[in-house]
Structure 1
Amino acid sequence: MSISKKYNYPPKLSILRFFVDAEGVRRNPIPYHEKYFERFGDSFSIRIGKSRHIILSRDNDIAQYILQKNQRNYYKSKFQSVYLSKYLGKGLLTVDGEFWLKQRRLIQPAFHKQKMNQLVDNMKLTIVSELKEIVTDKKVNLFPMMSEVAFNVVAKSLFQFSIEEEKLNRIKYIIEAVQNFLIKEIRLPHKAWWFSISGQVKKHLQLAEENDEIIRSIIEERVVSRNKVNDLLNMLLETRYEDTGEGMSVEQLIDEIKILFIAGHETTANALTFTLQLLGSHLDVQQKVFEEILKVESESEDVVERLQKMTYINAVLNESMRLYPPAWITDRQNVEDDVLGKFTIKKDTLIGVSFYELHRNPKYWDNPDQFNPDRFLGEQKKQSMQYFYPFGAGPRMCIGAGFAIYEMCLAICHIIKKYKVVSVQNTVNFNPLITLKPVGVEVVFYERS
């Protein structure tokens, strides 16, 4: 049986069209994806060479199948397991198989709800401290502010308040520099030779090594001090593997901390920026958020209790992440041949799922481009959650989802209670990098009387 008869792929985008559009796709793939989905339906494919295929989908059944129902047959692509691990090491985000499962089981208890509740007070203190000098009555570029807040919340949840400002600033600089270069490597593969001979690869690998040494020094200081501090580092130091009863090696702990910094920092900063921009463009929704804050605060003094009662604010965050999912795309490759809905695919097919497009697919959402937090309230919520992937799905769903929601709720509450936020522009610009990064989002903060 020939390859073409044995396998059945989604409608194919011609390789000619792929190359014609390549430069535009490199700059911003989303408008091109929209055009292709409009033409081909919820999935399309590109044939590479004689028998290799890439599939991109916005189909919920395909997303559920590869991420949850048959996830054992699907592993992360080389982009995640090779490119990312070169700079970030072998942590939860970049590994697969038995080693991933072993690490997930080890680290998961540190992110259980009870443990997260213990970190809330420190989160709140950091947010209040970072946002105490907001500039009012003039345009402010929102993302740098939210990035600073999110980075410091992660840093001080990991290391509480024991880390020097100089080390923190250096970690932040290195993470941003390495991420920016990584995007170049991925989007400009034809320049790999130049990045290598010009010394750029070497430079960024050295930066990654410097980052490792900074984190190593923090870990060693903690171990020597024997201080029992209520932070994530202490929780991770105390975890033990089920089979050996031993803790993580220092090298593995460094890799996991790097992943927590990156996964817990930029995605949260993105989501906060998009959410505040939407609230600044929908003042009626912002007023409801303000009223819920006052109501909940009058009913309880316990921070965790308050967070659990903020149903409308949670709905606003969910709707913001539906429209602008920080982790906007994911990919998998299949270990064995498989039947994917009505398609039969060869092993090692690369399958991308665009959460950005799935979250706006009119098959699943009424008025999909409209900002409507009511989708995530009452009876509508159950329906909406079936097609909603703010933190992925299945066993590899983001381990820090609860942490991120707590942090975002606390930040939104602190800001909206003190300030009325008005967006300068109603349109939202973004750059789809590893995450969906907001660009040029400006707002004005007006102090509430």
Structure 2
Amino acid sequence: MAENKKYNYPVQLSIVRFLLKAESFRKNPIPFHTKFFNEFGDTFSLRIGKNKHVILSRDNELAEYILQKNQKKYQKSKLQTQFLSKYLGKGLLTVNGDFWLKQRRLIQPAFHKQKMNQLVQNMEEAIAFELKELPEGKEMALFPIMNNLAFNVVAKSLFHISFIEQKLNRLKFIIEEVQDFVIKEIRLPYKSWWYKISGQVHYHEQLALESDAIINEIIASRQHSNQQHNDLLDMLLETRYEDTGEGMATQQLIDEIKILFIAGHETTANALTFTLHLLANHPEVQQKIHEELIAIDAETNDVVEQLQKMTYTNAVINESMRLYPPAWITDRENVEDDTLLGFPIKKGTLIGISFYELHRNPKYWKDPEVFNPERFLGEQKKESMTYFYPFGAGPRMCIGFGFAIYEMCLALSYIVKKYTITSQHQNIQFNPLITLKPVGVTVKFSKR
């Protein structure tokens, strides 16, 4: 009884009601999130067992509080630090505390804007190579093209030259297989016994070891080479810890590279797919991008300067990521008792923030379902950015956001200047995995 008096939680969803929909929830939780937010308000909770509580929210005040203002009391949950690290290792995405801070400080300089500017040529070459022969005049599946593009841009930027294509394709396969399985483990924890005895856990752990071996081979090849490649791998090999003056151990370097592959390719592939779908259905927006790009080309040939002038193109990408944030949800656990939105909550409460729903919350956005890039221009932009979390927020904001924006702007620039994009389909399907993955998106490219 004392505990019940001490702690209090937002309106609760019945665990029975949740379990009755568990399989549908695993396949796509977003419709259920939307239903419960509409029913309970911007924040609701669920009690699991006797003492464990889960809070789900689309409230901006809560997001700011746990991600920025009081972030030291909130760390990534076991869903990320245990489930993901089992396959992805202990990199920036999957660790907490002092070790995370040490790694962040070590790697951050490699993603400084000046360093990103040095990678632009690698990005531009990879994009031109991947998109030089887009099939024209017929509806085609878009995500596979964007997925290959984004993966190879990351590979080119990490390793400068493409490693053996067969091995890179195998690495991509492993990353996608592991992600699909992790989602099963997270959303259906009561089936963990079956995943173990059926050999699924072992199979995916072996896949993770295979990916380690592929990356290790790439690293070893570079270490035995005397050549400079001006890529991220060179930058990571050159980094040194402040306290010891030593570089990363090989396994740590492997873990960080795996994280960069996952965070750097699929999120961008998703965002580009959603953006091109929206452009195909909004020709007036597509035309404005084309006009901006032609005007910029007339002003300068310097690609970095061109990127800095793509104001409207950036606004379109932002509005696309508002509607379809690639990293659509995040979670935290409080490391000590705290008061959240006036509710005294117990240490270890799991808190999920749905960026997908926050970005569509009518409390913050006028006509939230409407695609309107003007939200991210002029005076409107400042207010919009207050409620905008495409790369998270606070100290754990995605380290590669600058890389992603450069890549998306370069890809859109290449496509829109050469092609008109159309589609016969307005509606879009998606699969909320670790990232928000588009499903069945088709467009047609026609030469301008």
Structure 2 match to 1:158: 158
Q: What residue identity is the alignment partner of 1:306?
A: Q
Q: What residue identity is the alignment partner of 2:346?
A: K
Q: What residue identity is the alignment partner of 1:139?
A: E
Structure 1: tracts of 5 or more residues without a match: none
Total equivalences in the alignment: 448
Structure 2 match to 1:48: 48
Q: What residue identity is the alignment partner of 1:126?
A: A
Structure 1 match to 2:436: 436
Q: What residue identity is the alignment partner of 2:33?
A: H
Q: Does 1:171 align with 2:171?
A: yes
Kindly report which structure 2 residues correspond to 1:41-440, keeping only aligned pairs within 5 A, or say none: 41-161=41-161, 163-440=163-440
C-alpha distance in 1, partners of 2:79/2:273?
27
Q: Post-superposition, which runs of at least 4 consecutive aligned residues in structure 1 deviate over 3 A?
A: none
**Residue pair 2:336, 2:347 contacting (<8 A) in 1 also:** yes
C-alpha distance in 2, partners of 1:179/1:57?
24
Structure 2 match to 1:15: 15
Q: Deviations over 1:327-361 (max 9, x none)?
A: 00000000111011221111100000000000000
Stretch of structure 1 that moved more, 343-352 or 14-23: 14-23
Q: Deviations over 1:30-83 (max 9, x none)?
A: 111111111111100011222221000000010001011111111111110000
Q: Deviations over 1:368-403 (max 9, x none)?
A: 000000000000000000000000000000000000
Residues 191 and 7 of structure 1: CA distance in aligned 2, closer, same or farther (over 3 Å): closer
C-alpha distance in 1, partners of 2:279/2:80?
34
Residues 162 and 328 of structure 1: CA distance in aligned 2, closer, same or farther (over 3 Å): closer
Q: Deviations over 1:230-264 (max 9, x none)?
A: 00000000000011111000110000000000000
Stretch of structure 1 that moved more, 147-156 or 422-431: 422-431
Deviation of residue 283 (structure 1)? 0.6
Residues 128 and 294 of structure 1: CA distance in aligned 2, closer, same or farther (over 3 Å): same
TM-score by length of 2: 0.98
**Residue pair 1:3, 1:51 contacting (<8 A) in 2 also:** no
**Residue pair 1:45, 1:55 contacting (<8 A) in 2 also:** yes
Q: What residue identity is the alignment partner of 1:231?
A: D
Stretch of structure 1 that moved more, 200-209 or 133-142: 200-209
Stretch of structure 1 that moved more, 205-214 or 98-107: 205-214
Stretch of structure 1 that moved more, 158-167 or 366-375: 158-167
Root-mean-square deviation (CA, aligned residues, Å) is: 1.0
C-alpha distance in 1, partners of 2:158/2:110?
11
C-alpha distance in 1, partners of 2:429/2:212?
34
Deviation of residue 162 (structure 1)? 5.3
**Residue pair 2:155, 2:162 contacting (<8 A) in 1 also:** no
C-alpha distance in 1, partners of 2:29/2:196?
26
Q: What residue identity is the alignment partner of 1:7?
A: Y
Q: Deviations over 1:207-241 (max 9, x none)?
A: 11111111111111111112221000000000000
C-alpha distance in 2, partners of 1:410/1:310?
10
C-alpha distance in 2, partners of 1:389/1:117?
24
**Residue pair 1:12, 1:46 contacting (<8 A) in 2 also:** yes
Identical columns (%): 70
Deviation of residue 190 (structure 1)? 3.0
Q: What residue identity is the alignment partner of 1:201?
A: V
Stretch of structure 1 that moved more, 40-49 or 86-95: 40-49
Q: Deviations over 1:286-318 (max 9, x none)?
A: 100110110011101000000000000000000
C-alpha distance in 1, partners of 2:340/2:132?
52
C-alpha distance in 2, partners of 1:198/1:61?
44
**Residue pair 1:122, 1:160 contacting (<8 A) in 2 also:** yes
TM-score by length of 1: 0.98
Q: Does 1:34 align with 2:34?
A: yes
